Structure 1
Amino acid sequence: MFTAIGSILGWKKGKEDPVPSPPSVTITGVRIPADGTPAHLLSLTTTTDPEHGTDGFLFHTPDLRQYWNVGDGWHFRDLKRLDLHSHQPQHYHFQPYILHQKEHIKQLLRSGSTISREQHLHLAQRYFTEQQHHILQPHQSSCAGAYYVFYSFSHYDLPKNQFVPAWISDTGDGHNCTYYGDVFLVKMAPREYGENEWAIYEDILPEFLDLLVKGPV
């Protein structure tokens, strides 16, 4: 789709000035161990060299190689987005994110700048990542926000994780996503992207562990 847009507007491929890498940051995330021990908060440091993966649009991601250090555990990774709302959105639950997506693309179109192949890829990754939306109970409102679930699908190398709560693993069609190895969650800041479209994270609060067990509405 983005290639077609670029073709219509006459965008041309060309060399661009190299974009600097974002600084590595340390954040508080959540780990759901595959061995059945309780989920817990932990410090995660982002890597600015995530190699190939569907998370490239974030530019720096939690470095989970020490947890998926067998075979292709790190290379065979993926992510999904969780949007937790403190109240019922005015529109159908996908609508707010779709409006944001459209506005972002409009800004790119208005700028008239050349979009590289990498930028096309990052746009597709950001807006075609699997998404879930949930409404929180009033006492869970401190956990509202956008989260990313990082997981591995390297079933030859890592044990199946049977301890991811159903409200996260549910695919919405009566099936559950299968995860291998430890599963991790990180939270995005209200302003999700900053300079050079780098992801901005914030710490997950301890209250999230209770939400993880009990689930939202």
Structure 2
Amino acid sequence: MFASIWSFLGWKEEEPVIQNYPPVTIVGVRIPADGTPAHLLPLTTTSVSSATDNFLLHVPDLRSYWISEQAWRLRDLHRFDLQKDGCVPLSQHRQQTDDLKSLIRMGQCLNREQILHLRQRYLLPQQRFFVQQHNTYHYCLGTYYVFYSFAVDDLPINKFVPRWIEEDIDAHSSLCYFGDVFVVKISPDEVGQDGRAAYEDVDPLFLDFLVDDAACSKTLIPLLHQREEQKMIGSLNIF
């Protein structure tokens, strides 16, 4: 967002150096803005380094769906977790512990870019849901990222994102999406050996959660968390 504001004001900034990773093709979900049913589709990743999703290092390339380069630049994301209980999964707990230890020793371990990526990851809007029928939807449990554009001048508003996804629990408000919205799933370890996000395919049963808001309200129960790790990272004066 800041890059587009600077460009509008005539200011120039150095182009970020993008480390190119081999593309990966995964199965994600598309929620079309034209009201046609949500569906699974293959998505191929591209390397990134100039948006709020930098910490993933590679993300689904959605430019062919959002048409304009401006809509691609004005993208954002948020996260939700589908859980079988109210506890934070062990893999996430371990990752949070390791990240917080690194921040405590940040002068020794982390460079400025790594610190930025941690801030992006943990200050990201995040929701957690308890899946009541978790035996039926076992392969749907896990962590997801919702990718959307806020290019209001380039894309039509998307009125078909399920309410349980668009609601911001912390702010008690709803997000506004423009153009097609996409959902992808992250593997339990979240990060691969090369340091970039490790994705996995979305299970077809996930589409059940996108059909009927009333039914989903009985299946997906929001879990409200006091996110101390976000408070800690957000309060660190590292810039």
- TM-score, normalising length: structure 2: 0.74
Q: Aligned ranges for residues 79-118 of structure 1 at < 5 Å?
A: 79-89=77-87, 100-107=95-102, 109=104, 113-118=108-113
Aligned to 1:126: 121
- 1:24 Cα deviation from its structure 2 partner: 1.2
Q: Evaluate the alpha carbon distance shift between residue 95 and residue 132 of structure 1 in structure 2; reply closer, same or farther with a 3 A threshold.
A: farther
- 1:150 Cα deviation from its structure 2 partner: 0.2
> Which deviations, in whole Å up to 9, do the C-alpha atoms of 1:43-64 show, x marking residues without a partner?
000001x241100000110000
1:147 aligns with 2:147: no
Task: Please tell me whether the aligned partners of residues 91 and 188 of structure 2 are also in contact (alpha carbons under 8 angstroms).
Answer: no
Aligned to 1:3: none
Q: Evaluate the alpha carbon distance shift between residue 27 and residue 96 of structure 1 in structure 2; reply closer, same or farther with a 3 A threshold.
A: closer
Q: Aligned ranges for residues 24-173 of structure 1 at < 5 Å?
A: 24-48=23-47, 50-70=48-68, 72-89=70-87, 100-107=95-102, 109=104, 113-138=108-133, 139-172=136-169, 173=171
Question: Relative to structure 2, which stretch is displaced further, 76-85 or 93-102?
Answer: 93-102
> Which deviations, in whole Å up to 9, do the C-alpha atoms of 1:160-210 show, x marking residues without a partner?
000000000011244211000000000001111022421000000100001
Q: In structure 1, give the amino acid aligned to 2:37.
A: P
Rounded Cα–Cα distance in structure 1 between residues aligned with 2:89 and 2:131:
16
Q: In structure 1, give the amino acid aligned to 2:137.
A: Q
Q: In structure 2, give the amino acid aligned to 1:116.
A: N
Q: In structure 2, give the amino acid aligned to 1:44.
A: L
Q: Evaluate the alpha carbon distance shift between residue 132 and residue 151 of structure 1 in structure 2; reply closer, same or farther with a 3 A threshold.
A: same
Rounded Cα–Cα distance in structure 2 between residues aligned with 1:66 and 1:47:
13
- 1:98 Cα deviation from its structure 2 partner: 6.8
Which residue of 168, 180, 184 maps to 1:182? 180
Task: Please tell me whether the aligned partners of residues 86 and 140 of structure 1 are also in contact (alpha carbons under 8 angstroms).
Answer: no
1:194 aligns with 2:192: yes
Task: Please tell me whether the aligned partners of residues 71 and 157 of structure 1 are also in contact (alpha carbons under 8 angstroms).
Answer: no
Q: In structure 1, give the amino acid aligned to 2:39.
A: H
Rounded Cα–Cα distance in structure 2 between residues aligned with 1:108 and 1:194:
20
Instruction: Return 5+ residue gaps in structure 2 as ranges.
Output: 1-16, 222-239
> Which deviations, in whole Å up to 9, do the C-alpha atoms of 1:8-40 show, x marking residues without a partner?
xxxxxxxxxx99643210000000000000000
Higher helix content, 1 or 2: 2
Aligned to 1:10: none
Rounded Cα–Cα distance in structure 1 between residues aligned with 2:172 and 2:159:
17
Task: Please tell me whether the aligned partners of residues 91 and 189 of structure 2 are also in contact (alpha carbons under 8 angstroms).
Answer: no
- TM-score, normalising length: structure 1: 0.81
Identity of aligned residues (%): 48
Instruction: Return 5+ residue gaps in structure 1 as ranges.
Output: 1-17
Question: Relative to structure 2, which stretch is displaced further, 157-166 or 137-146?
Answer: 137-146
Rounded Cα–Cα distance in structure 2 between residues aligned with 1:70 and 1:174:
31
Q: Which has the higher contact order (CA 8 A, sep 6+)?
A: 1
Aligned to 1:5: none
Task: Please tell me whether the aligned partners of residues 78 and 151 of structure 1 are also in contact (alpha carbons under 8 angstroms).
Answer: yes
